Structure 1
Amino acid sequence: MPAGLARATFRFAADHLTRRGGNSVWQLRRNLSRVVPDATGDELDALTREGMRSYARYWLEAFRLPSVPLATMRDTFHMTTPELFEQGAREGCIFALPHSANWEHAGVWVTSQQIPLVSVAERLKPEGLFRRFVAYREALGMEILPTRGGERQPIEVLSERLTDGAVVALLADRDMSARGVPVMFFGHPTRMPPGPALLAIRTGKPLFPVSLWFEPDGTYCKLTGPLPVPEHGTLTERVAELTQRLADELAAGIAAHPADWHMLGRLWLDDRPNTAPAPVPADESAPTG
């Protein structure tokens, strides 16, 4: 499909889903209300619509990624903090990302520079779907480890890869399991994965929070850090302190570009599953085709 037609199709689909409403749209709107607490109802409706369009753009780009020339991938990815990237990639580091913009685009940009990149993937069901996701990302040059069911624990393999100088990239803004680290995020309690902090403490490699967002000419990336690693306390206390620092940095990046944060699921512990989602009002000025 021509690129322009594909963009129009996905944008139309996003607007249709937003007008129809549903659990995912409702939850995105609720999540964004935590990020932008002072937004009016109309502003929140508009932000939700833009968020759905951004989410559709991610899937469009993800589907088209394997066929895009590598030169185009490089030209449309913009690292705004190259000095921090070079500092981290020189001897191995941990990048902690939110579910924002197109993180696969970021991964391809890293591997295009002959830098080994390792990440993990949740073991989806059915198994065939999980294998397809893994094969897709491996075809883009990444090494993907399953969160469970592998020959070894992911933390052990990731530690070895970091010691060997690889870059480890981990989505870090959501962990609803009992193993998640309690943090405050936009003023409300949630859990985040312990992996980024634990790896930084265990290996001594720098931990960089990542902010990703879309612009018309591509994906933009900003690194902050490296985060200072706590030196005192038990391992559990140190992981908790470092994870909270990471949560604060991720929150700052998300707040700067809230429409590109693709969090359509329940995140905060004090949220309750929605039972009667209300459709987001249609924007009469938005194009319908």
Structure 2
Amino acid sequence: MNVASAYTFAWRNATRIPEPVLRALFTVVADVTWLRHGKAVRRMEANYARVRPDLDAAAVRRLSRAGMRSYMRYFREAFTLQGVSTERLRARVRLEGYDEHVRPVIADGGAVSLALGHLGNWDLAGAYGSQNLAGVLTVTERLKPAELFDEFVRFRGSLGIEVLPLGGGDVLGALVRGAKEGGRLIPLLSDRDLTSTGIEVDLAGHRARVAAGPALVGLEAGVPVHAVGITYERLHGARRRAAGTPWGIVIRFYPPLPVPDAALPRDERARLLTQGWVDQLAGTIVEHTQDWHMLQRVFVADLGPARQRASGGQATG
């Protein structure tokens, strides 16, 4: 069975398995993956070590086990998300900062550009947002094989999320047009540069390359830019029973970033906005490191020579 077929099988059959059984199965998968200590786990640990210099190697190793369990929890939930009722979906999500920072903009017919990290369960957040807050327009990486990408698009579409493929024409233009139409949340996973044309920033004391998308949408469409941190939390009592699972998520909307001086060059304004949301999101990453599902290279010191040159030299972390 190829990867696309495996994902399709899981999406179509996971809801038939009792939740406690599925939870135990994915915990075993997480622990076995962690014990094998392959390339992805080692990269996770290297990233964790950079943002958590207070931890020794043994503590980072333990933290990566919690990280793999969090990551597999995301997949388990994603595979069953299409079968979750509206009531259970609402019980699984708690908002922070939305009423203060975002609701007034949406209520006035506007839109917001949201910078997300690979934190918690962003698909659950998107499903909740599309059903309870506003229309959701986002971008997804063009995965290989094509059948896998098609499954991801179909899956997110079934949750009410409008998806644009990265590299599929004028993506930025489409995002800007969607923002100008208003009434939309535009969340973009941006803590990793997929294009080699991102922006270099300071992330928890280390140089890193992240995506320029949230800043550019904000500048081009004239909409506020916010960082959004998504983390897991344990559920108890009535809320746990209503959610049908022991885990929920917290979606924290940070305050809108100050609009840079219009007299500055566009690239500098984009850099300032990007560093702004990275500074906000870094706090969530440091505080909830186990929920940061970053199994790829993001720090400049870990990038290949070509991408280091694109960052302006042999930067160190």
**TM-score (ref. length: structure 1):** 0.90
Q: CA deviation at 1:87?
A: 2.8
Q: CA deviation at 1:257?
A: 0.7
Whole-angstrom CA distance in 1 between matches of 2:85 and 2:200: 42
Within-5 A mapping of 1:123-162: 123-150=142-169, 153-162=170-179
Whole-angstrom CA distance in 2 between matches of 1:74 and 1:188: 37
Whole-angstrom CA distance in 2 between matches of 1:57 and 1:120: 22
Q: Which residue of 2 aligns with 1:85?
A: 102
SS in 2 for 1:50: helix
Letter in 1 for 2:199: V
Q: CA deviation at 1:272?
A: 6.0
CA 1:72–1:30 in 2, change beyond 3 Å: closer, same or farther? same
- Choose the corresponding residue for 2:268, options 234, 237, 245: 237
Give yes or no for the alignment of 1:256 onto 2:274.
no
Deviations 1:90-149 (A, max 9, x none): 321111110011001111111112621100011122222111111110010010001113
Q: Which residue of 1 aligns with 2:5?
A: none
Give yes or no for the alignment of 1:29 onto 2:48.
no
Q: CA deviation at 1:42?
A: 2.3
Question: Could you tell me whether the CA contact under 8 Å between 1:200 and 1:229 is conserved in 2?
Answer: no
- Greater Cα shift, 75-84 or 91-100: 75-84
Whole-angstrom CA distance in 2 between matches of 1:202 and 1:56: 37
Whole-angstrom CA distance in 2 between matches of 1:58 and 1:196: 23
Give yes or no for the alignment of 1:61 onto 2:92.
no
Within-5 A mapping of 1:110-259: 110-113=129-132, 115-150=134-169, 153-165=170-182, 166-217=184-235, 218-231=248-261, 232-259=263-290
Letter in 2 for 1:69: S
Matched residue pairs, number?
271
Identity over the aligned pairs, expressed in percent?
36
Q: CA deviation at 1:85?
A: 3.3
SS in 2 for 1:107: helix
Give the 4+ runs in structure 1 shifted more than 4 A: none
CA 1:88–1:16 in 2, change beyond 3 Å: closer, same or farther? farther
SS in 2 for 1:230: coil
Question: Could you tell me whether the CA contact under 8 Å between 2:210 and 2:298 is conserved in 1?
Answer: no
Letter in 2 for 1:67: G
Structure with the larger helix share:
2
* Unaligned segments of structure 1, at least 5 residues: 274-289
Deviations 1:164-196 (A, max 9, x none): 112111011010532111111122212111111
Letter in 2 for 1:21: H
SS in 2 for 1:106: helix
Whole-angstrom CA distance in 1 between matches of 2:116 and 2:264: 26
Aligned CA-pair RMSD: 1.4
